Amino acid sequence: MTDLSCSVCENSSGNSRFTAREMMFGRRDEFLYMECGQCGCVALQDVPRDLSSYYPADYYSQQPTLYPRSGLRHFIRRQRALYCLHGKNPLGWLVTKRYGRPAADIFGSPDYYKWLKTCGVALTSRIADVGCGAGSLLYRLHDDGFTDLTGIDPFVDKTQQIAQGFRILKQDIYSVDERFDLVMLHHTFEHMPEPARALRHLYTLLNPRCFLLIRIPVASSFAFRKYRQHWAQLDAPRHLFLHTLASMKMLAQQSGFLFQDVVFDSSDFQFWASEQYARDIPLKDKRSYNVNPAESVFSKEDIVGYQTAADQLNRDQDGDSACFYFYKP
């Protein structure tokens, strides 16, 4: 029998259940989720014994190109990095004005220097990216001039020393015993089976007076309320826990962190992908906007409208994706 107590707040009153299907690859297997009546956390109840089949070889992006950290390109990117982090760099200002700030990532986030500046890091800071996959963000940071980068992911092929000051470890967080100035999890935390335990260990990986940055889907959002079992960010069964503002604040308090801030960064994905799932169109289907925009069920006006709505939801703190800042005193 399914346990109806919430693993975050231990509440067992007013909890509800619903089923969601695997719709990224269109397998359509059904999975049971529970929504906590108190903290709102949504948790997968029937976790498959072997999740590996739901992470096919093409799940992670291909290995990005490592550009040589020398010459004019590296100099220009380093000046932009210094300006974005600290300001007061005339050359960096000119470079940023000419070439713009770093491009958004695949999850629709604004440029990554907004996160890094908030966390007070420098080019020499020790930075860890947990669940880094192929290391796309770390490659960009390395190209920008950061000198101490570590990726941590148990599902990569092998441990690699990519370049001086840049490595990717084939390990889970519990086998890492180091200290960092910033630890980041970009859409990784929702895949972890024991969020409270994970946060407690992440606390030990940080130096004092440093930040933990977690970007996740948010269940206390308009998109979940509207689409529920068709909400694309459920991503059954890969997402084990879909947290809310309330559940994240509880976890922070339980693990010793100070909850500093949350910035919503949802995109039009919450609408068009969820609309597709409700119409039985998987993310990887040939009819999907993700695969073939011109042949999808959406017009250009639809997508513009979805992005406009997402921007407003972010301003209202009701988007379905957010960046959480936890501080270790």
* CA–CA separation, 7 and 117 (whole Å): 33
- 10 Å Cβ neighbour count for 231? 25
Separation between Cα atoms, residue 163 and residue 166, nearest integer Å: 5
Answer whether 176's CB lies under 8 Å from 169's CB. yes
Helices (DSSP H) in the chain: which residue ranges? 71-86, 90-99, 113-118, 136-144, 195-205, 222-227, 245-255, 269-278, 300-315
Q: Which helix (H) or strand (E) holds 18?
A: strand 16-21
Structure tokens at 236: 């059954």
State how far the Cα of 48 lies from the Cα of 53, in Å rounded to an integer.
10
pLDDT value, residue 249: 97
Residue range 16-328, CATH number: 3.40.50.150
Confidence at residue 310, expressed as pLDDT on a 0 to 100 scale: 97
Task: Return the closest-CA partner of residue 45 out of 2, 107, 101, 95.
Answer: 2
Q: What is the pLDDT along the chain (329 residues), one digit of tens a residue?
A: 345 899 999 999 999 999 999 999 999 999 999 999 999 999 999 999 888 888 887 665 445 555 555 677 778 888 888 888 888 888 778 877 777 777 655 444 557 888 999 999 999 999 999 999 889 889 989 988 999 999 999 988 899 999 999 999 999 999 999 999 999 999 999 999 999 999 999 999 999 999 999 999 999 999 999 999 999 999 999 999 999 999 999 999 999 999 999 999 999 999 999 999 999 999 999 999 999 999 999 999 999 999 999 999 999 999 999 999 999 99
**Dihedral angle of Cα 313, 249, 262, 105, to the nearest 10 degrees:** -90
Rounded CA gap, 281 and 144, in Å?
Answer: 39
Phi, psi for residue 120 in degrees, rounded to 5: 70, 30
The answer to whether residues 124 and 81 touch, using CB atoms and an 8 Å cutoff, is no
First to last CA, the chain: 41
| Cα(141)–Cα(137) distance, integer angstroms | 6
Of 329, 91, 109, 327, whose CA–CA distance to 217 is shortest?
109
**pLDDT value at residue 76:** 81
Closest residue by Cα to residue 276 from 267, 287, 266, 265: 287
Q: Is this prediction's pTM over 0.85?
A: yes
Q: What angle do CA 106, 184, 231 make, to 5 degrees?
A: 45
Listed in sequence order, the residues at least 6 apart from 112 whose beta carbon sits closer than 8 Å to its beta carbon are 102, 105, 137, 140, 141
Helix H, strand E, coil C: the string for 116-153 is HHHCCCCCCCCEEEECCCCCHHHHHHHHHCCCCEEEEC
Token pair, residue 215, equals 């970007």
Give the model's pLDDT for residue 111: 78
Distance CA 177, CA 158 (A): 18
